[in-house]
Amino acid sequence: MRTKTWAPYALIAPTLVLMAVFLVYPIGSVVYYSLQRYNVTQPWKNGFAGLDNFKQMLFDDPLFWQSLAFSAKWVFVEVALQLLLGLILALIVNETFIGRGIARAMVFSPWAVSGVLTTGIWILLLNPSTGIFQVLSEWGIGSPGTSVLGNPDTVFDALVVTELWRGVPFFAILLLADLQSIPKDLYEAASVDGASRWRRFTSVTLPHLKDAIILSTLLRAVWEFNNVDLIYTLTGGGPANQTTTLPLYVARQAVDSHNFGYGSALTVAGFLILLFFSILYLRVSKFGSRA
């Protein structure tokens, strides 16, 4: 009897240990350092700071609010456009037509490319001397030497297009998988009742995709909020900090300036923001309930 009681705990013990080592300890250490003054370049100032790092963040650091506002704008625009384009592509490749396998491979292939390689490709494409704008200028379209990444008026659009190329396949893959699980009988019954193509989409397809859309948008929003590699490689947060996200600001503080205490406080703030909006989003969207 006692063996049966302890057996389940013994089986899950390795998982609990791994979670403690790779999840609980890192989070705990970040919270600890967020309450410290810890800058390796100024060791004489190190020590317990209490909530001073958070006070500085909220009241004396305009770049925190600027990076947070840009992160919100970045997440909203990217997730909305990726969802829309991913849904359209999923609906297209879900149809039966000649060359559908090749079309699916082309749609999904950008997702298989690493983030660093993606930025390398787009750096070459957006290069003002050898990239696509130079080629267009030779054809009489635009002016030579156009630098969209160095122009404050065009840098955000360039980043959005670059991330769309990488992020749209994520939604297309997940939504296509859910599309293929919709019973054909529902569409046949709707057709018999005289429902139009749009009516079948709104009454059959979208309700069935509800949970997949909620989950994929939440996962992608967290992913885009924490996006560092693409923006760091393409712009480094510039020009004039206009493309600095909160995680990129954390990287600057912790990695570049070695201010680990303040960087940890920024990390805790980002974690709490994501946790709050994730719970709120799931509650408002009623995830898990079928229409």
pTM: 0.89
Nearest to 252 by CA among 123, 67, 20: 67
CA angle (63, 68, 72) in 5-degree steps:
150
Tens of pLDDT, residue by residue over 175-228, are 999 999 888 888 888 888 888 888 988 888 999 999 999 999 999 999 999 988
pLDDT for the residue 131 = 79
Whole-number pLDDT of residue 287 = 81
Distance CA 85, CA 172 (A): 8
**290 band by pLDDT with thresholds 50, 70 and 90:** low
Of 1.10.3720.10, 2.40.170.20, 1.20.1250.20, 1.10.30.50, the CATH number of 36-285 is: 1.10.3720.10
So what's the pLDDT on residue 289?
A: 67
Please state, in angstroms and rounded to a whole number, the distance separating the CA atoms of residues 39 and 258. 6
Report the Cα 202 to chain-centroid distance in Å.
27
Calculated CA dihedral for residues 235, 246, 222, 34, nearest 10 degrees: 140
pLDDT: which is higher, 233 or 69: 69
When mean pLDDT is compared across 50-59, 88-97, 282-291, the lowest value belongs to: 282-291
